[in-house]
Amino acid sequence: MEDSTLLKISLACSIIGIIVLFFISSRIEINEIDLSNLNNVEIGNDVKIIGKIVKIKQFEKLTIIDLKKECTVPILLFDNISLDVGQEIQVNGKLDEYKGKKEIIAEKILKI
């Protein structure tokens, strides 16, 4: 085969692959986790939690939110966002552990 034909075939396969990955990624959804089952989730896994803010601690480059549903879990946020105590939010992030306690590093927070 000629080089130009192979180039066209590889380019077409690449474009089709990117389109397929786009549609697959748009259908992936993280299931909500119950805070009481947080100990059963492995560190580093993606989690989604809905709960009420009970405490907010703001620092220069970090905000720590205590979120409560059945129990309380700390949420670490590295962006500035306007939140109030008592507000219900949805948190998408990664589960982490600090000094033996579970916490969530927030990637996205939605106000409900």
Instruction: State the pLDDT confidence band at 29, using cuts at 50, 70 and 90.
Output: confident
| Whether residue 106 sits in one domain with residue 81 | yes
Residues 53 and 91 in one domain: yes
103 and 66 in a single domain? The answer is yes
Give CA–CA dist 64/83, Å, rounded: 11
Q: How confident is the model at residue 36 (pLDDT cuts 50, 70, 90)?
A: low
- Residue 65, token pair as written in the block: 């939110």
Q: Are residues 23 and 39 in the same domain?
A: no
Distance CA 76, CA 69 (A): 17
pLDDT for 59: 87
Write the pLDDT tens digit of every residue in 42-83. 788 888 888 899 999 888 888 899 988 777 888 888 877 788
Residues 25 and 47 in one domain: no
The percent of the chain in helix, strand and coil, each rounded to the nearest 5, is: 30, 45, 30
Structural domain of 90: 35-111
Domain shared by 19 and 46, yes or no = no
Question: What is the total count of domains within the chain?
Answer: 2
Same domain, 25 and 44: no
59/31 Cα distance (integer angstroms):
30
